[in-house]
Amino acid sequence: MRAAFKKSLGFAVVALGLFAGSAQAQEEVIVKVPFPFVAQGHALPAGKYIVSRVTEDQTALVIRGEDANRKSIAIVMTMPADGHDPAGDKPALTFTRFENGYRLTTIWEADGEGRATISRKS
């Protein structure tokens, strides 16, 4: 299963154009995702999102829709990510292609710290 995960990670799509929230640079990341995606089993439409911590240790993060997507929300469980930030020292989200869409795979903060999402068992 780990080999399949690494293989699918090779097809990751990186959402760039991210920036840290102004008042809480280390607490929030604001991102515009140009396609619909799945996060922790929740289908979210394309749009602008705020990613923030639910717990101090970052094991849980919340993804909240902005603007027209205000009702879109998902709480994702995470663990430390292997590898490096694909956007260098900028925040980034990575996605893997699955079925007919994309699944959120990792969340990278501006300091290069990454969190991998934990897949929900069906």
28, part of any domain: yes
Residue span of the structural domain in which 13 resides: 2-117
Number of Cβ within a 10 Å radius of residue 15: 20
Buried/exposed 55-83: b ≥16 CB within 10 Å, e otherwise: eeebeebbbbbeeebeebebebbbeebee
122, part of any domain: no
CA gap 91, 74 in Å, rounded: 19
Q: Which residues contact 2 (CB under 8 A, 6 or more apart)?
A: none
Q: How confident is the prediction for the chain on average, in pLDDT?
A: 77
For residue 105, give both structure tokens: 């795979």
pLDDT of residue 37: 95
pLDDT of residue 47: 92
pTM value? 0.74
59, part of any domain: yes
**Count of domains in the chain?**
1
pLDDT of residue 67: 75
